Amino acid sequence: MPDHWAEYNARQATRDIRPLCRRAMDLAGSGAGRTAIDLGCGGGRETRALLEAGWRVTAVDNEPGTQARLLRTVGGIHAALTVRVEAFAKVKDLPPADLVYAGYSLPFTGPPSFSALWTLLRSTLRPGGRLAVNLFGVHDSWAGRPEMTFLDAAGARSLVDGLDIEYWDEEDAPGMAYSGPKHWHVFSIIACLR
């Protein structure tokens, strides 16, 4: 796990858009002024892609350099961008949303805060809105860290009860992380409120 989020985020600035975000955008169609939330926006790659596709974006990240970094990443398309520099544990409200994207960010929230944040995310969804999230599983090599949340498959599925699951993928394999080799156990989910 990265020790310095600022360094991690700086190195993410030029990577490709994460496949889960691209898939969610494809399912949702053009932003056309609709609202998206990017939780853990990091280097801003997904935020920029959402803005370019016509979404109004609320980007949330706890790293102090978030505002300046995002403005550099999105360039001149920042009129539809709201930036919130805030820890997930402190987030008490979010705008009604048509798309909530959280790429590899939610697991870095401990269980009590995770539960409250998840309830908030579900409550922000408008009819037809989608959640697109990566959640860490119990086989992940970081599992057991008390400041993080890990779920088994049943626990991950229970989070999207009542939503239509449009995409579900479970990765349980060795791979690379920013900090080096690790075992990844990740649930990638897109679910829609009908």
For the range 13-18, what are the long-range contacts, defined as Cβ-Cβ under 8 Å and sequence gap of 24 or more?
A: 13/43, 13/44, 13/45, 13/69, 13/72, 13/73, 15/43, 15/45, 16/45, 17/45, 17/46, 17/49, 18/45, 18/46, 18/103, 18/104
Residues 119 and 131: their CA atoms lie apart, in Å, by 12
Residues 173 and 83: their CA atoms lie apart, in Å, by 34
Query: Above 80 in pLDDT, residue 48?
Result: yes
Query: Above 80 in pLDDT, residue 100?
Result: yes
Q: Do 59 and 41 form a contact (C-beta atoms < 8 A)?
A: yes
What is the residue range of 173's domain?
Answer: 5-10+19-192
144-175 tens-digit pLDDT: 999 999 999 999 999 999 999 999 999 999 99
Nearest-10 Cα torsion for 100, 101, 106, 107? 140
DSSP state of 151: B
Specify the pairing of strand 125-136 against strand 35-39. Answer: unpaired
Measure Cα distances from 80 to 58, 145, 185 in Å: 9, 37, 35
Phi, psi for 22 (deg, rounded to 5): -60, -45
CA-nearest of 78, 111, 97, 126 to 39 is 97
What does pLDDT average to over the chain? 93
How large a percentage of the chain has pLDDT more than 90? Answer: 86
What's this model's pTM, rounded to 2 decimal places?
A: 0.93
Domain count, the chain: 1
Read off the pLDDT of each residue in 96-123 and give the average, rounded to a whole number: 97
The CATH number for 162's domain is: 3.40.50.150
124-150 tens-digit pLDDT: 999 999 999 999 999 999 999 999 999
| Per-residue confidence band for 78, with pLDDT thresholds at 50, 70 and 90 | confident
